[in-house]
Every structure is written in structure tokens, then in C-alpha cells.
Structure 1
């Protein structure tokens, strides 16, 4: 329909009619042609920085932006309509039932996720856009198995998380190059909904994931300026919350806010991806080996420093400091175990609100009734911007403090293998958000388990038994645990488990771990969507 734009997969007729329209694809092509060279340059810069860290150059606060950090006068823009009070936000994928239940959950906001909790099949991505378009217009009601799903009179405020800068969208090319997954997700939601959202007293609000440098935030800001002009809405209408979920970004919180200061809605502690990044970015540092995943809590050195710095930074610049995810889901068949799990949620949310956070994340509607009363009790106003945390002094060494009490246990290694296999198999099959051991897990979980296994093998780490974690041990555990994956993750296919198993075996043998398993495994989704071979990256 649009010169230079090709769609390499089939979509449902409704999606074609209302989402992949000629005007929307024209806008998408304009964004691609304007900003794709910058994206590629920034991705190349990531690889260059990693090589420097591998050679021993330490991570540190950028010297060239010291004046931005020192200047007290600048502040970010005021919250957008509906974002003044964000005490509880729920997150999840964009399927129709989830969208309705999340918007009706009682949470202040819903982050509809095209990223870590969505496997990016083309149907998931495009049908998700249909669902969000309908939700914005209050037309998302539907009936399934005799049950009616209807939007409430006062649903949560909607925010949208596009994919990270590293992911392509191979089903759509512009001038014979795949478009950015980030730009694809942003462009279609913004183009179809920005005017409608503004008319309804809200606005186009986003969460931005996995940035590693303030120049990546500048790229988003340039896209926002371009896009607002393109459709004819005032500049500074968009609001974006940045997830600080990479180790390099923790050293550049001030700079990221500065770049987005006229569109910023704050920062979020993306805790699980942050642990993943902490390991991955220090892959050449034998001293950065971490113990079992369960021992890497929010109170260990590097996590505590990151949280304190984030709250201080946000409140200094008068924006929201959002807390992390409570991944727990109710345990219906075991009241005692459920109470233990819910007590962990209460303790986590109490820690967050008393530290100064302005809100928190949950993954299940039932958890809203636990998280909200804690914030209601301890946060009397709409936020805590007045909690300046001037007592905080965080140095580079604090953000790199890898003194984490704990051990590498046989159970921990087994759990990592099991979780990796289950999640990756589900993801390849098109499901990006699955319950495992009464936790709602997304791609960040699989990433932590994958790089921990790699790290333990790479450095010959020993378990509490004295036995070393080796590639051969991982092979044995994969062979033992793979047959049971279908029990803990119902619906996965044996063929997908086999792909996940072979991938994990290869990963623990690599010199360096892959940057993202989602990039590696995307080729399987592209093949399933019928994408021509020239646009498929080689399956790993």
C-alpha cells in the first residue's frame, strides 16, 4: 500500500483494516527513514562499550555530563493527566482478556506490554494493537465461553511498553530493511490513539525498556518531537517512564531524565532485568559471580544502592520513582503457602513505600488488594516527590558492589535449568508470560537463569557440595528436566522444548553469552509467521 513498505506475514482482516492502514504505514516508514541510522549507530556503540568493559575499563558516571548532574535548577515536566497518583500499576500482555481484567483491577495504571511478557508473534503484536485501540475507545468488551468481559466505568490509566531498541520487526520492511520493533509498537499505538486519548482527558503514555545510554533516551525524545508534529498535537504531550533495568543506565539516570525532561514521567526499578544486566555487562569479571537467584534480593549491596539513587534522582527532578514487580500470584490450593507468599509481597511493598517510592508494580489483579493498602497507609498524598533522600550518597563502587551473601546450590542450578527451558519453550510457542512456581514469569526470568548458568560454567563455580558447575552437568540436567517441562508449563510443544534445550546447551559453552535470547530465538517466530528466508536471521 505504501511505497517501500512490505508486510511479510498474514494478519487478521480486522487488524489489516484498522491497524495496518496506509496512513499508519506511511507514518511508520517516515519514522524508519528518519531514525533507523541513529538506532543502528547506538546499537553499534553498545558493542564498542562492552569491548572496553571486557578489557577492564570500569563502569562509571560519564564525565562529559557532570554539569547536568551538578545543576540543581532543571526539573522535568509536570505529570500528565491521570499520572499524578500511580501508587499501584499492573502489568501484562495485550491479549483482550488481560487488557480488560487489568484495566478493571483497581490499579491506578496498566502497563500494556509488547515487550518481555509478550512473545512477539505477528498476531500477538498486531492483535494487541487492535485490543488497545478498542480499549481506548471503550469498545473492548467481548464474550468467551459464556462469560462477558466488560470495561468498568473508571478503568486504569493506560501506558504502553514497546519492545527494546535491540529487537527488529522482521515481518515489516521499509526500503528492504526490517523496521525497529520499538518504532513499530510505538508508531501504531501513537498514530491510532493519541488524538482519542487527549480528547478523553488522558494522553499517549509509554514505558521505555532496556536503554543503556542517555543518547538512546535522546533518540526517543527526537521521535516524540517528530511524532507530535506529524499528527498535529502539542509538543510535550507524550509522557514516558524509563525502566532502569541495565547496569549502564544506572550510572546515567540524571542524563536520561534530562534528555526526556519535557516528556518524562519518571523512572522505574526494573529489578529482574537489572540483575540480568549486572551479570551480562560484567561478563569478564570473575568477581561478579552471583549466588542462587533467590539470594539476589533488593537488600543486597548493588540492588539497594540502585534503588536509593533512583529515588533520590527522580525526586530531585520532580518525577515518579516507581518500584519493582511483585511477581507473586495467589496459591489457591495451599492457604499456608499462599499466606507466606503474600507476606513477602507486603514486606516488599512496605520497603518500597518507606524508602520513598511513588508506586509499585504487580502482575496479578488479586495482589492490588495487598499492595494498595500499604501505599495508602504510608503515602498520604498522590506521590512522595517531597521525599528528597538528601542523605543518599551513591558512588560507582556502590552500584558495582557484588558482595551478595548466599551460595550456589544444587537446587538453584536445577531451578535455573528448569525455568530456562520452560520459559523459552513457551516463548517459542507464542506465550511470553507464564506462571512458574506461583510466580508470573516473563523474559527477564529466563535471561537471569540463562546468564547465571553461563557465568557459573565460565568461571568453574562450585556448588555447596564442592562439585563444579560444568557444561556437562548442565547437559545432564537438561536431559533430566526437559521431559517434565510440559507439566510445569502446560501447552508447550515437545519440538519447542527441544529447541530450548539445544539453545541452552550451546549458550553455556559460548565465550560470551548472547545479548538477548529473544533476539536469538526471534527467527523461529519469523519462520512460523511465513517470513521469507532473506529476512530471517539464522536460528541459534
Structure 2
């Protein structure tokens, strides 16, 4: 397969021959200044990032050998001293309702037009990082900030455009473990996170300044305060280079890994001039609980459907995040409502009741805002937050001082619940359909009434891997083995094939997804992220 290589400021951009429209987008995104910034940031920060990723592996090896995560003794002074993060900018103080989604052009418009305060435009879990997708995403967000974004559906002819007063735009970059295979500096690929950050910053800084606002980001999957400090240094370096005040860049950090929950004070402290909030990324957090404690037979989770926020280890996580954030003057964002409205009135009534109960728990705990995945949930979720916040922009006054200290044992508490055949089969179908969609370039997929992204697929396959490794039995007495999984995968693949139809099955990478799911779920070692081997299958 032939490739073309364009050299700009010693940045190698390697891609297959492209059509004229995509070439125009490449030229718009990879300007001389943008390429120069990418090269400079990569040379400055890639070596340290490689060290941080190696430290993740060393820490995981200790957990695999029997250690458990705990609060750090060497940073006790930070946790016990009196300090606050920088004041929150005015346009970030009220974030009671946020919607998330990929950087697809039509979805960007619909999300910005939704009845929400914030749209998190996602280059990460909701976006399959095809080369064309991530480049077009930068064009789409540039146009959104300019207010000029529009789209006409080629099939229906329906036109989409921004309404007055759209939601506030925040971009989520890729995780630190993900690399961009189409870009090289000095013969090595560059971090996907640095690409997303640098391109969004350089193409939107001037417009954001005209709008009297800053350049805002979500940072995913951090595992330590050292990683937070890496980001803080990236921000400071970039602000200094462009001659803008410290704090022009603001970040919200997702606490969605088990190691990070023990370092929330330290993460806030490391980013104290740039951070405004922490977020309960609860689906990835459940996946991280499985992954971090994968060798601990007493910490095996039940069916993912019963691992809800009222479980002790998740309740402790939510309450500690709120208490920590509010003590330091940062917002505490709640988690995702992944449900999708149903056409059937009775079904929809039940769905909205679940959303209401979930958001009631978050708001009553003291969260300052919450996430939805579908605009049709905005009224329901928004009503709950409006009831609790009223005219106040947030709940920073809720300090949870009456709480007993949250201990390591609370955060690591085993989770009760059954492992069922139905749950296992559902996990298989969800993971299979999501992987097929991801490989086909779609990272946000409606499956069985839920808007699924990479996190839920990760839980699905990692749970089964853990059940196999520890010889767990299902509630019907069946021993979970590699052979049982393989036979169920064959059976559930036929179910999915019947649901989607033979033509879709043949054209949408289902066989490749099935093969990959079998490989990673029956491997002797847990694959860190399913998106790593799946990325090799993307154009």
C-alpha cells in the first residue's frame, strides 16, 4: 500500500492517497505553525511521557504481585495542608448539565444546540480515531468556535446550523497511552494527546480570546499526580510560547482510574493554576478497578449491570471526589447517563425514572453537574440539577464535613452480586457490536438502549477475562472457561448477525471484531486497552 509523506517543519505526515476535499482539510489543519508546535512539544515532552508510561507498568506489577493501592505517604503534607486551586472562570462556574459525543460534524452541531451548559467534544472514548476522523474533528471544532459550522445531510437533504447561544465547548483529548501512527517526529510516532491538544489550541486560541474566554480541555485516564504535572508543564510551556497568561488553558480531569482516586488532592495541587474540576468517569473507573486488581481473587466484580453507583466502593469514590474538590475550590462533576430515550411511552417512562434516580443521587451527594449522552435526556436530568442548585451556579458550599473519612478499604471494597449467564452473553454481544463499529470508524454506538463507548466495551470483555482467570462460576453452576467463552461467542455472534442482517454483518467488520474479541478475552495476560490492538485495524 503506497503512502505519501509531506515534510513540514520536520513533522512526517504519513497517509494513504487522499481525495481533494480531505487534502484541503489536511492543509488547513497542518499549517507551518501547527507543525512547528507539534514538533516542539513532542521533542520537549515525549521522553518524559514514555517514562511515565513505564512507571504505570512498574506500579501495576506491584499490584499484580499482591499490593493494593493506597494513599501516598510521601504526599501527606499536600493532603493535610490548606490550599486552593485558582479561581474558576465565570463561564465554567455553572456546568450543571453537560452532553458528550464525538467530533463528527452533525453531532457537534446537535450537541451545541442541546439544552445543556457544556458540550464535551470527544477525541477519546466516543471517537474512533481514524485518520480522517481526527483531522476532520479539528476542522469541525474550529468552525464551531467561529460560529460558522453547518452541515447538510447528503441523504435527507436536511440542513444543520448553530442556534443562538450554543453550549460552551470543551475538547477531550486522547489518553496518554494512545499514539498517532500517522505522525512522526524524529522517526517516532507522536502522542495522540499532544496532537489533539496542540492542534485545538493553535487553531482556536485567537477566536476564544475574541470571545473573552479561555481554551478548555478534558483530560482522561490519568493514573498519577506525576502525569497531572506533565500536563501542567505542557500547558505552561504553551502559554509562555504564545505569550498568554497562565490559566488561559483550563482543564477538567476525569478520575476514571483506580490509582488516581488515591491521588485526587495531589492531582488538583499539580494542576492548581489550570484545573477547574474533577469528574467521576465511572464506567472507565469500573474497568480500571477490574484491571488494577485483576490478580486479586477477592475483588472480582459481578455482572456489570448490577455494578451501580450505590455499591459501597463506587459510593465512596463519588463522595470522596466531592469532598476533595470542594475543599480545594474545584467543581465535582458527576457521571454519565448512557440511556437513550425509547419510542414506546411505557419504556421511555421507565428510562426517565432511572435517569432521575441516578441524577438525584449525584445531586444530593453534592455534585455540581452531570453528564448525558443524548439530547432527549436534557430536560429530565436538567430538572433534577435545577431543583438542587436553584439559582446557585454550583454546590461548592457542600463540603461533606460530616462524612467519616473515606479509607482505602472503602475504595477497594469487594462488590456483591451474581455472575449470570444472561449477563455474560449480554457482555459478549455488546463488546462484539461495539468493536465492529469502532473498527468501522464509529466510536459512539447505540446498543440495546444505551449509548455505548469504549468504556463499557472494556468492562464487558475485562469482566469475562477476570472470571476465566479466577475460575469463577456463573449462578447456574457453569464454570467460566476459555472454551465456554468461545462457544458463547459463536452463539451470540449468530444472534447479532440475525439482529443486524447478513449484509451489515459482512460489510461492517463483525468477523474481524469477533476474532479480536476472542484473542483479547482468552489471552493469558489482560490487554491494557482493547483500543490498542483495534487501532492497528484502523485506516
> TM above 0.5, one fold?
yes
Which residue is 1:394 aligned to?
406
Contact 1:436 1:488 in 2 (8 A): no
Q: Which residue number in structure 2 is paired with residue 16 of structure 1?
A: 26
For the residue of structure 1 that corresponds to 2:126, the secondary structure is: coil
Structure 2 CA distance for partners of 1:489 and 1:167, relative to 1, 3 Å: farther
Tell me how far apart the structure 1 counterparts of residues 505 and 144 of structure 2 sit (CA, whole Å): 29
Match for 1:358 among 364, 368, 380? 368
Distance 1:495 1:296 in 2: 31
Paired position in structure 2 for 1:538: none
- 1-side partners of 2:307 and 2:251: how far apart? 28
Query: Secondary structure, in 3 states, of the residue corresponding to 1:465?
Result: coil
Unaligned runs of 5+ in 1: 530-540
Deviation sequence 1:360-396 (CA, Å, 0-9, x none): 0000011111111111111120001010011231011
2:283 alignment counterpart:
272
Aligned to 1:169: 180
- 1:139 matched to 2:148? The reply is yes
The 5-angstrom pairing of residues 506-517 of structure 1 reads 506-517=519-530
Which residue is 1:256 aligned to? 267
Is the 8 Å Cα contact of residues 117 and 167 (structure 2) preserved in structure 1?
Answer: yes
**Cα distance between partner residues in 1 of 2:413 and 2:64:** 18
Contact 1:161 1:207 in 2 (8 A): yes
Which residue number in structure 1 is paired with residue 3 of structure 2?
none
| 1:435 paired residue among 424, 446, 451 | 446
Measured in 2, the distance between the counterparts of 1:224 and 1:347 equals 38
Which residue in the other structure is 1:537 paired with? none
Task: Quote the offset at 1:486 in angstroms.
Answer: 4.8
Q: How far has the Cα of 1:505 moved from its partner? A: 1.9
Contact 1:195 1:233 in 2 (8 A): no
Structure 1 CA distance, aligned partners of 2:350 and 2:124? 30
The CA distance in 2 between the partners of 1:489 and 1:66, in whole Å, is 54
- 5+ residue gaps, structure 2, are 1-6
How is 1:268-307 mapped onto 2 (pairs within 5 angstroms)?
268-307=279-318
Given that 2:437 and 2:508 are in contact with CA atoms closer than 8 Å, whether structure 1 keeps it comes out as: no
For residues 287-436 of structure 1, what are the structure 2 equivalents within 5 Å?
A: 287-332=298-343, 334-380=344-390, 381-392=392-403, 393-402=405-414, 404-436=415-447
Task: Kindly report which structure 2 residues correspond to 1:176-255, keeping only aligned pairs within 5 A, or say none.
Answer: 176-255=187-266
Residue of structure 2 in register with 1:119 after alignment: 128
Q: Aligned Cα RMSD in Å?
A: 1.3
How far residue 22 of structure 1 moved from its aligned partner, in angstroms, is 1.3
Query: Is 175-184 or 387-396 further displaced after alignment?
Result: 387-396
Tell me, yes or no, if structure 1 residue 109 matches structure 2 residue 118. yes
Between the aligned partners of 1:124 and 1:221, the Cα distance in structure 2 is 27
Structure 1 segments of 4+ aligned residues over 4 angstroms from their partners: 486-495
Instruction: Within 5 Å, give how 1:485-504 maps onto structure 2.
Output: 485-486=496-497, 491=504, 493=506, 496-504=509-517
- Report deviation, 1:2: 2.2
CA contact (8 A) 1:426 1:489 kept: no
3-state SS of paired residue (1:524): coil
Give yes or no for contact 2:138–2:200 (8 Å, CA) kept in 1.
yes
TM-score (norm 2): 0.95
Partner of 2:35: 25
Paired residue secondary structure (1:508): helix
The answer to whether the 8 Å contact 2:84/2:272 transfers is yes
Residue-by-residue CA offset, 1:206-230 (whole Å, 9 max, x unaligned) = 1000010100000000000011122
The Cα shift of 1:16 comes to 1.8
Deviates more, 1:223-232 or 1:347-356: 223-232
What CA distance in whole angstroms lies between the structure 2 residues aligned with 1:287 and 1:181?
36
Q: Is the 8 A contact 2:224 2:260 kept in 1?
A: yes
The answer to whether the Cα contact below 8 Å between 2:88 and 2:276 also exists between their aligned partners in 1 is yes
Distance change (3 Å), C-alpha of 1:131 and 1:347: same
Matches within 5 A, 1:438-453: 438-453=449-464
Match of 1:151 among 162, 173, 178: 162
- After superposition, residues 86-105 of structure 1 pair within 5 angstroms as 86-105=95-114
Identify which of 502, 505, 508 aligns with 2:518: 505
Q: Which stretch of the first structure deviates more once superposed, 210-219 or 139-148? A: 139-148
Judged with a 3 Å threshold, the aligned counterparts in structure 2 of structure 1 residues 195 and 457 are, in CA distance, closer, same or farther, namely: same
CA contact (8 A) 1:5 1:174 kept: yes
Match of 1:532 in 2: none
Q: Is the 8 A contact 1:8 1:171 kept in 2?
A: yes
Count, aligned residues? 523
Taking structure 1 as the reference length, the TM-score comes to 0.95
1:492 Cα deviation from its structure 2 partner: 5.8
The alpha-carbon deviation at position 489 of structure 1 amounts to 6.0
Q: Is the 8 A contact 2:520 2:530 kept in 1?
A: no
CA distance in 2, matches of 1:120, 1:282: 28
Q: Secondary structure at the match of 1:8?
A: strand
Alignment partner for residue 71 of structure 1, among 81, 90, 111?
81
Distance of 1:336 and 1:508 partners within structure 2: 37
Partner of 2:58: 48
Following TM superposition, by how much is the alpha carbon of 1:484 offset from its aligned partner in structure 2, in angstroms? 3.6
Structure 1 distance, partners of 2:500, 2:169, is: 29
- Does the aligned pair in 2 maintain the 1:311–1:356 contact within 8 Å? yes
SS at match of 2:387: helix
Q: 1:153 to 1:412 in 2, by over 3 A?
A: same
- In the aligned structure 2, how far is the partner of 1:486 from the partner of 1:6? 41
Residue in 2 aligned with 1:521?
A: 534
User: How far is 1:406 from its partner?
Assistant: 1.5
Alignment partner of 1:515: what SS? coil
Measure, in 2, the Cα distance between the counterparts of 1:486 and 1:233. 54
